[in-house]
């Protein structure tokens, strides 16, 4: 029973995080966003995940990531979400 409870809790928590694919922005730049509604991840963790995704995207193009801007929005109340959005380019 304990394992079932843990599995259900884990499945529920996984559903709280939202990720976007890398999307084109202006001037040859890109954005990627990470979001969490479950009070589980800090904006710093979300930022690191987003930068990791940006780095993977550029690596696949055999280029290096250059972070241009990072926006971190902390979760302040139930129903809101913590977010991190990274603007980057590949060089």
Name the nearest CA neighbour of 88 among 56, 64, 66: 66
Over residues 49-74, mean pLDDT: 96
**What pTM was estimated for this model as a whole?**
0.74
Domain ranges of the chain: 17-90
29 pLDDT more than 80: yes
Q: What is the pLDDT of residues 37-48, one digit of tens each?
A: 877 888 999 999
Q: What is the pLDDT of residue 46?
A: 94
Region for 9 from its dihedrals, namely left if φ exceeds 0, alpha if ψ lies in -120 to 50, beta otherwise: alpha
Question: Residues 42-64: what's their mean pLDDT?
Answer: 95
Name which of 80, 73, 85 is nearest 31 in CA terms: 85
Q: Over range 59-83, report the average pLDDT.
A: 91
């Amino acid at each position: 029973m304990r394992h079932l409870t843990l599995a259900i809790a884990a499945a529920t928590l996984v559903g709280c995080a939202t990720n976007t694919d890398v999307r084109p922005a202006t001037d040859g730049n890109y954005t990627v966003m990470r979001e969490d509604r479950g009070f589980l991840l800090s904006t710093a963790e979300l930022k690191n995940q987003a930068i990791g995704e940006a780095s993977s995207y550029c690596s696949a193009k055999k280029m290096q990531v250059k972070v241009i801007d990072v926006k971190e929005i902390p979760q302040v109340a139930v129903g809101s979400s913590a977010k991190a959005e990274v603007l980057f380019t590949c060089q």
